[in-house]
Amino acid sequence: MITLETIKIFAEVAVIFGGLIAITSFVIGIRKQREISQFTFFAEYTKRYQEIVTNLPEDMNDVNVLEDEDTRRYLRVYFDLCNEEYFLYTKKQISEEVWDEWKDGIKTTFRKEAILEYWKERKTSYYDFSKYLVELLKEESDEHI
């Protein structure tokens, strides 16, 4: 026979179980929202990068492309983007995985002669990133030795 005490115990267990389900659902929802937010954030930076790249000349090894004001303007925007990305990395606002992806892109881009040439004129505007970039490119050249 089921007693009143047994019913109370079942009710308490059901309340605890229901609470655990609610808390678990809440945590899963927060994690999903965070993933969506991070994806949106990454997509926005990717969109900005693509807009810059599609507006630069194909041959960025030719320093003569720097005679074009639009090219210099898009390079300044690119330098700003790199600086922002580096800032986000230093403030731990992006994951190591995202930073590694962005860092590889920066290393590849800064291999181009015209970009390096224009960077020499602009680098004083990006103090912390500029110091980091020197080390990154030095590291890059050491990898090929």
Model confidence over 58-78: pLDDT tens digits? 999 999 999 999 999 999 999
Would you say residue 5 has pLDDT above 70? Answer: yes
Environment class of 79 (CB within 10 Å of its CB; exposed 0-12, middle 13-18, buried 19+): buried
| Mean pLDDT score, 53-62 | 93
Q: In the numeric block, which tokens belong to residue 93?
A: 């606002």
pTM here is 0.75
Task: Report helix angle 69-90 to 113-122, nearest 10.
Answer: 70
113 membership: H or E segment, kind and range: helix 113-122
pLDDT of residue 142: 52
Q: Nearest Cα to 118, choosing from 55, 84, 58, 73?
A: 73
Q: Name the one residue in this structure whose structure tokens are 């930073």.
A: 99
